[in-house]
A = this chain, B = another copy of it.
């Protein structure tokens, strides 16, 4: 049983109550507290030293990343973030400067997006820094975009360029909050997820939640300069395509719209976000799994989100 299977198993038996619109399993939980025009979004995420950042990474960037990951989940629901609470696990004795720097990075990003930091706990975690953040947001009632509502025939889009985030971008990516809200306002986005586990893995989450399959066009998948650079330096490592599919921590948006909206969306996007690439990378079909197609044929991605390139 891997992590995803375990979580899926646990998720089925978690207690719910009358306020729950969407519980565990999507990018955020959606709660109805009785506001006329809004629903509440609720999310937690953590970064751990040696797992999500290296020892010696600048504390400001660590704090920033911890919050940015949660903001990316709010973006994936087309929501607006509002307030965060922070739990810091710290080796003892901790340096007050380190804590202040973590909070400085975190607070600067919070301020940029209008997020209040309304609680901060610290505890000992003797071996490594552990930052857990919980974030509250809102979304216009009925406008939340789930993972589970992709339709056969949809076009699949992804923002930005993928792969190689570990070379640096994972510490200073921009959560796609403005882009997601613009999408939700101007188009009927059927399903959306943010890319944390890698395109192949997160697309699979979306497909499984929606009960559909997908075909990707190999040549349309946007590969980052960092992924190409890493592949050039290490010819025996991942190809840029493999990196784009499986590296993770891109924190771009993956979403689907009706095929008929694809061209109009693409044109409007270019006008509104000229600096951020948007790629139509494939389509949703009835069925299951992910097929990767180029002119020479098609291959299946395996169940763990990896393709074995030959």
Interface residues in chain A, defined as those with a beta carbon under 8 Å from any beta carbon in chain B: 1, 3, 6-7, 9-11, 13-17, 19-20, 23-24, 28-29, 31, 33-35, 38, 40, 42-48, 50-52, 82-83, 85-87, 89, 96, 99-100, 103, 107, 110-111, 114-128, 130, 132, 134, 136, 138
Contact = CB atoms under 8 A, between A and B. Distances in A.
A115 to B, nearest CB: 7
Given A10-B99, A123-B46, A116 B23 contact: yes
B125 A125 contact: yes
A50 to B, nearest CB: 7
Contacts of A16: 116-118
Most chain B CB within 10 A, of A50, A89, A110, is at A89
Contacts of A14: 103, 107, 116-118, 120
Contact of A10 (B40, B45, B100): B100
A15 B124 contact: no
User: How many chain copies?
Assistant: 2
30 contacts: A10-B100, A10-B103, A10-B120, A13-B103, A13-B107, A14-B117, A14-B120, A15-B110, A17-B82, A20-B83, A20-B116, A24-B119, A24-B120, A29-B83, A29-B118, A31-B118, A33-B138, A34-B38, A42-B85, A42-B136, A44-B132, A44-B134, A45-B87, A45-B121, A46-B89, A46-B121, A46-B123, A47-B123, A51-B125, A130-B130
B114 A28 contact: no
Contact of A117 (B24, B40, B103): B24
B48 A116 contact: no
A86 B44 CA distance: 7
B120 A85 contact: no
Contacts of A134: 42, 44, 85, 132, 134
